[in-house]
Amino acid sequence: MFSPIAPARWFTEPGFAGPGDEVSDAQRSLRLRFWVQPGLYVEGLQDAILRLNFSYGAGFRRDSLLNVLINGLFVRAIPLNEPSGATLLDYKLRIPAGMLRSGPNQLEILPMLVPAETGWCQLCQAENLLLTVYGDSTLELPPMTQFARLPDLELWARTGFLSLRDPEGSGLAAQVVDASPDAAGAAWTLLARLAQISGLPLYRAEIGADPDLKDRKVVVIRAFQDLDPEPKAAAPWRLSDAQSFADYGSLRTIAEAEIGGAWWQHSLARIQDWFETQIASPRDHRVRVLYADQILRSCARRRY
């Protein structure tokens, strides 16, 4: 993990980083880790712009290239087919913004370097397979707004959103209602995980049975059946022994308002839509929650 406030740096497998990072046949990749704000939303078809400044040696075979990946997905290949080598400045690549994700991201440059002279009973010389990506290469992110449909436990587990307003935890409070060792251990484990995401100790976070809750996001830690009615009613979960539901806001869909009446009224209503915005009504969907032991039992019954 790395801190969202730490500057993004190029690094290779051994962890070398400097003004120009050299990648040879032995060092198989060059990576850039960077942080994107949680709940990112990019309007329209916009791209991130990668501007590379790099040099490569002579004597490469014509199928040598650089593969560019974002979060493990292929973006583009850069051919390295100049026989005498080259220095390329401000080489621009466009990365679709949809390939970015909230929280940690990784840009990877994977060189595939092949010597020009290869064959049976020939000396395969690879000392010239050198590539340098200069440290003044840049990655420019598109303009973004913050939009998230909550609750989103996957987003929370990856970025700490909304619990982590800042890396020091100044907007976070963990209220341990139950004084049992299990509850205390769960609270410290939770804070340790959020500290891993932040990359810094959460020394400004409040924790205790009666912490300061003013202007803070509160995480209440207690067995669900023992929770007070107020936080239980506010939770997006409906848990019971018989059946459990999650009322996710992200599963609310917008349905067009129904138009009643005769066929000619339908036509008039469609003409009216040209001038007026149709009022939409939300529909709620309920989702069944399965616990791990239920899934395991289901899989066990299918074994032969």
pLDDT tens-digit series, residues 254-300: 334 444 555 555 555 555 555 554 444 444 444 344 444 443 343 34
C-alpha angle 72-76-77 in degrees, rounded to nearest 5 = 110
| Six token digits for residue 81 | 């087919």
Report the greatest alpha carbon distance in the chain.
86
Which residues fall within 8 angstroms of residue 173, CB to CB, at 6 or more apart?
205, 206, 207, 211, 212, 213, 216, 217, 218, 219
Per-residue pLDDT tens over the stretch 74-129: 999 999 989 899 999 999 999 988 888 887 888 998 888 888 877 677 666 777 88
| Six token digits for residue 220 | 């209440």
Single-letter amino acid code for the residue at 203: Y
- Contact between residue 67 and residue 110 where contact means Cβ atoms under 8 Å apart: yes
Q: What is the dihedral of CA 17, 23, 29, 33, to 10 degrees?
A: 20
Using the predicted structure, report yes or no on whether residue 161 has a pLDDT greater than 70: yes
Whose CA is closest to 163, among 148, 182, 177?
148
Q: How many Cα neighbours within 13 Å face the side chain of 223?
A: 8
Distance between CA atoms of residues 178 and 33, nearest Å: 39
Which residues fall within 8 angstroms of residue 49, CB to CB, at 6 or more apart?
92, 93, 94, 95, 139, 140
Burial class (CB in 10 A: 0-12, 13-18, 19+), 276: exposed
What are residue 76's DSSP bridge partners? 68
Share of the chain above pLDDT 90, in %: 12
For residue 108, the surrounding DSSP H or E stretch is: strand 103-112
Per-residue pLDDT tens over the stretch 178-198: 778 888 888 888 888 888 887
Residue 236 pLDDT: 66
Higher pLDDT: 260 or 60? It is 60
Q: Which residue has the tokens 């290949």?
A: 77
- Contact between residue 25 and residue 110 where contact means Cβ atoms under 8 Å apart: no
What are residue 106's DSSP bridge partners? 33
- Write down all domains in the chain, each with its CATH number in brackets: 10-146 (2.60.120.260), 163-228 (no CATH), 236-304 (no CATH)
pLDDT band at 163 (very low <50, low <70, confident <90, very high): confident
For residue 243, the surrounding DSSP H or E stretch is: none
The β-bridge relationship of strands 217-221 and 172-176 is: parallel
